[in-house]
Chains A and B, each alone.
Chain A
Amino acid sequence: MNTALNQYAAAYPELAAAMPGQGLSWLQQLRADAFTQFASHGFPSPREEDWRYTNVSALEKKAFNPVSAATTSFVDADCLKQYQLADAWSLVLVDGRFDARLSNIQGLPDAVQVMAMAEALQLHAGQVASYFGKAVDTAEHGFIAFNNAWFTDGVFVHIPAGQILAKPIQCLHIVTQEGSLATTRNVLVLGDHASAQWVETFVGADVGYLSATVTEAFVGQNAELTAYKVQCESAKAYHFGGLYIKQARDARCIQHNFAFGGLLARTDIRADLEQAAECELNGLYLGVKRQHIDNHTRINHVQSHATSRQLYKGVLDDRARGVFQGRVVVAEQAQKTDSNMSNRNLLLSADAEVDTKPQLEIYADDVKCGHGVTIGQLDEKSVFYLQSRCIDEATARNMLTFAFANEMVDKVTLPTLKALLLQFLLKHFPQNSYVD
C-alpha cells in the first residue's frame, strides 16, 4: 500500500464511527471486509483490463475528505431549480447526505417507500439487508469496495408489486465544497409488475471534489424501469458512478446515460438478465478541453430469450478523451439471446481521442449477437450540402454535430427532462435554434 492510499485508510477509523448502520452487524462486517480489500488493493489500477484507459492515480495524490454532517452547506433551493424536474418526486443529497428540506415526496402512494439510506438502515434494516450488496459486491473493483466502506448516505426506494408510478423519482446529488468527498449508495427496488421512472442527476459547485456513487436496482418479474443518469459535475470534479441492475424474468429496463461533466468521469453500468428480460442502454458523452469521460457497460445474459440493445454516442473536441468499453456475456444456457451493441464517435479536433472496445463473450450456440463501432469526423458531403442551402460552414458543422448528439436526447420520453437536456445541448452547440 502506498502512502497516498494511507491518507484515505488512515482517516477511515475515525470516520467509520460516525457512519450510518452502526448497530447492524451484517453491515459492519460488510464495511470491514470492504475496508480491508480497499486498504490492500486501493483504487483500480491501469493494469486491470477494465481500467487500462482510465488512470485514477490523481485521486491518490489529492486526499478528498467527507464533509461532516455538522458542516454540510446550506443550499439555496432556487439554485437547484435548473436541474430539478418540475413534475417529479424529488430527493436531494447535499455533499453525500440526504436533505429533507430540499426534497419533496408529497403525494407518493402510501405503499411506496422512499427515504434516506441512513434512515432506512434504522427503520427497515431487514428489508435493506435483503438487497444491499446483492447486485454488486466488493470484489467487483476498488470503487465498489470504497463505496461499501465509505458511503455516508443515499436513498432507499421500494416500489411494491403492481404499483405503477405516475411521476418519476429524481435523485439529485449536489456537492458544494472544495476537496470534499461525497460517497453515496442507493438501493432501488421494483416489485413484480411495478413500473417506475428513476432519474439521477449529478451536479456540483465549480470546485474540485470526488463524487463516488453506487446504485443497485432490482427490477421484479414483468416490471418496468426507465432510468436516467445525467452527469453534469463541475469541470474540476472527479466522478465515479456505478449502476448495477438485476432484471428478473420478463423485466424491462431502459437506461439513458448522459455524461457531460467532470474532469475525469467514469460510469459503470451492468445489467444481469433473467429469462426473456429486455434491456436497452443508451449513452451520450460530450467531452471538451481536457475532459476524460469513460463509460463501461456490461450485460450478462444469464438465461434464455433475453434481448439487449446498446447505442452509445460520443462527441470529443479539443484534447478530450472518451472511452467506451461494452461487454456482453452470453451464458451457456442463455439460448435465443438477441443482443446488439453499437458505439459511434465523432472526433472534432485532431487532438481528441477515443478508445472503444466492444466485447462479445458467447458460450451458448443459438444466439443472435452483433456489434459495431465507428470513429470519424463530420461527413464533408453533408457539410457541403448544407452550405449549398445557404448555411455557413461553421453553422453547418455545428448543426450536424448537434444532430448527431440530439438523436440520444430524442430518445428521452420524459418531456421535462428532454427539455432540460435539450437546453444543455443548445448551450453546448450554440449556433442552433430548435424547431420542433
Chain B
Amino acid sequence: MLSIKDLTVNVNDKKILKGINLEVKAGEIHAIMGPNGSGKSTLAHVLSGKSGYEVTGGSVTYQDKDLLDMPPEIRAREGVFLAFQYPVEIPGVSNVYLLKAALNAIRKYNGLDEVDAMDFLMLVKGKVKALEMDEKFLYRAVNEGFSGGEKKRNEILQMAILEPKLCILDETDSGLDIDALKIVADGVNSLRSPDRSFIMVTHYQRLLDYIKPDFVHVLAHGQIITSGGPELALELEEKGYGWLEDGQVAA
C-alpha cells in the first residue's frame, strides 16, 4: 500500500526527517511514537501534501504511484486521509456541505455520479449516530466553536464518510478525555478492514490500548530508531524514550 524509502525532508533548510524507511501493507496498523520534535507530525504532513516542507531525497510510493507528485486533493481522492491534530475551524462552511463536497469530489474523480441527496443524508446520519454526535453538528460551521473532543470526533466522521484506504491519524488522542477517546477508538476500529491501513502518530500508549497496532515504530531525531510489535509501546510507556535515544547516540 505505502512504501517510504530514505525520505529526507527539510523545513526552512533544517533537516527534520533524515532517512525514513517504512512499509505499510493493506490492512495493517502502524503506530509511530516518539518524543516531541522528533518529526512525527512532519511525516504525517508530508504524506498528506502540506506545503512548507522540502523533500530533499527518497521516495514515497502509494499504490504503485508516486505520492509526492500529487497535489493534496488528488492524494485525498486517491484515498489518503489525514485526521488533523488541530482541525481547522471554517466559519461559514457547514459540516454537511463540506462532507458532501468532499464525497462528490471523490466520486467525480472515480467517474461516478454525484451522490443522491437522500442517500447522502441517510449515510451521514447513520455515521453521526455511531459516533454519538448530535445531528445539529452537521449544520454547524466546520469545527467552529467545537470542543477539542468534538473536533476529533468530527475528523473521524469525515473519515467514516470518505472511506479512505490509508488513514493517517496525527495525535488523534491529544485533548481527549477517556470517554471521547473510547468513542473515537471505536470509530476507528469499526473502519478496520483487510484493505484499509492506518498510520497512527501518537505520544502515548493509551490510544494503543483501544486501537491495537500491528507494528510500533519509534521516531527520534528524524529517523526510525527501532521497530517492534505492540509490546514495544508498553515498554516505552514504562521506560520513556531516553534509553532508546541514548542507545542510538552510543551506537
- Give chain A's interface residues, CB within 8 Å of chain B: 379-382, 384-393, 395-396, 399-400, 402-404, 406-407, 410, 434-435
Provide a sorted-by-A list of 7 A–B residue pairs whose CB atoms are within 8 angstroms.
A382-B88, A385-B84, A386-B98, A388-B82, A390-B162, A400-B90, A404-B91
A393 and B100 contact, CB distance less than 8 A: no
The answer, yes or no, to whether B202 is at the interface (CB within 8 Å) is: no
State the CA gap A389–B103 with chains docked (Å). Answer: 9
B77 and A386 contact, CB distance less than 8 A: no
State the CA gap A380–B91 with chains docked (Å). Answer: 14
Do A407 and B73 contact each other (CB < 8 Å), given the known contacts A389-B98, A390-B106? no
Residue of A nearest to B139 (CB): A436
State the CA gap A379–B51 with chains docked (Å). Answer: 13
Closest 6 CB pairs of A and B: A403-B92, A390-B105, A387-B72, A385-B88, A389-B102, A390-B76
Residue of A nearest to B158 (CB): A389
A418 to chain B, nearest CB (A): 15
Residues of B within 8 A of A404 (CB): 91-92
State the CA gap A404–B89 with chains docked (Å). Answer: 13
Residues of A within 8 A of B48 (CB): 388
State the CA gap A410–B140 with chains docked (Å). Answer: 13
Residue of A nearest to B89 (CB): A382
State the CA gap A395–B102 with chains docked (Å). Answer: 11
Contact of A407 among B82, B92, B102 (CB under 8 A): B92
Residues of A within 8 A of B98 (CB): 386, 389
Contact of A435 among B87, B100, B103, B158 (CB under 8 A): B100
Extra contacts besides A380-B51, A388-B76 (17): CB < 8 Å = A382-B90, A384-B50, A384-B51, A386-B90, A386-B98, A387-B71, A388-B81, A390-B77, A390-B109, A390-B162, A391-B73, A392-B105, A399-B101, A400-B93, A402-B92, A404-B92, A435-B96
Contact of B93 among A381, A390, A403 (CB under 8 A): A403
A289 to chain B, nearest CB (A): 25
Residues of B within 8 A of A382 (CB): 88, 90
State the CA gap A127–B76 with chains docked (Å). Answer: 67
Contact of A391 among B91, B105, B158 (CB under 8 A): B105
B90 and A393 contact, CB distance less than 8 A: no
The answer, yes or no, to whether B49 is at the interface (CB within 8 Å) is: yes
Contact of B101 among A379, A384, A391 (CB under 8 A): A391
Q: Which of B30-84 contact A (CB under 8 A)?
A: 48-51, 71-73, 75-77, 81-82, 84
Residues of A within 8 A of B21 (CB): none
State the CA gap A428–B94 with chains docked (Å). Answer: 20
Please classify the interface of chain B as helix (H, G, I), strand (E, B), loop, or mixed, using the class held by over half of its residues.
helix
Residues of B within 8 A of A390 (CB): 73, 76-77, 101-103, 105-106, 109, 162
Q: Which of B100-130 contact A (CB under 8 A)?
A: 100-103, 105-106, 109
Contact of B91 among A381, A392, A403 (CB under 8 A): A403
B104 to chain A, nearest CB (A): 9
State the CA gap A182–B101 with chains docked (Å). Answer: 45
Do A435 and B94 contact each other (CB < 8 Å), given the known contacts A384-B72, A388-B82? yes
Residues of B within 8 A of A387 (CB): 49, 71-73, 76
| Residue of B73, B75, B100 with highest tally of chain A CB at under 10 A | B73
Do A406 and B92 contact each other (CB < 8 Å), given the known contacts A384-B50, A390-B105, A399-B101? yes
Residues of A within 8 A of B158 (CB): 389
State the CA gap A400–B142 with chains docked (Å). Answer: 11
Contact of A388 among B72, B100, B106 (CB under 8 A): B72
State the CA gap A385–B73 with chains docked (Å). Answer: 10
Residues of B within 8 A of A379 (CB): 88
| Residue of B76, B81, B93, B98 with highest tally of chain A CB at under 10 A | B93
Contact of A399 among B71, B82, B93 (CB under 8 A): B93
| Residue of A389, A390, A395, A435 with highest tally of chain B CB at under 10 A | A390
A393 and B105 contact, CB distance less than 8 A: no
Do A388 and B77 contact each other (CB < 8 Å), given the known contacts A400-B90, A403-B93, A406-B92? no
State the CA gap A403–B93 with chains docked (Å). Answer: 6
A372 to chain B, nearest CB (A): 16
A185 to chain B, nearest CB (A): 37
Residues of B within 8 A of A400 (CB): 90, 92-93
State the CA gap A400–B92 with chains docked (Å). Answer: 8
Residues of A within 8 A of B103 (CB): 390
Residue of A nearest to B81 (CB): A388
A385 and B49 contact, CB distance less than 8 A: no
State the CA gap A388–B112 with chains docked (Å). Answer: 20
Residues of A within 8 A of B93 (CB): 399-400, 403
State the CA gap A434–B96 with chains docked (Å). Answer: 11
Residues of A within 8 A of B100 (CB): 435
B171 to chain A, nearest CB (A): 15
State the CA gap A396–B94 with chains docked (Å). Answer: 14
State the CA gap A393–B49 with chains docked (Å). Answer: 12
B73 and A393 contact, CB distance less than 8 A: yes
Q: Which of B155-175 contact A (CB under 8 A)?
A: 158, 162
State the CA gap A287–B63 with chains docked (Å). Answer: 45
B6 to chain A, nearest CB (A): 25
Residue of B nearest to A434 (CB): B97
Residues of A within 8 A of B84 (CB): 385, 388
State the CA gap A402–B92 with chains docked (Å). Answer: 8
State the CA gap A435–B121 with chains docked (Å). Answer: 12
Residue of B nearest to A401 (CB): B92
Residue of A nearest to B114 (CB): A433
Residue of A nearest to B141 (CB): A403
State the CA gap A403–B89 with chains docked (Å). Answer: 12
B92 to chain A, nearest CB (A): 3
Residues of A within 8 A of B97 (CB): 434-435
B94 and A389 contact, CB distance less than 8 A: no
Residues of B within 8 A of A434 (CB): 97
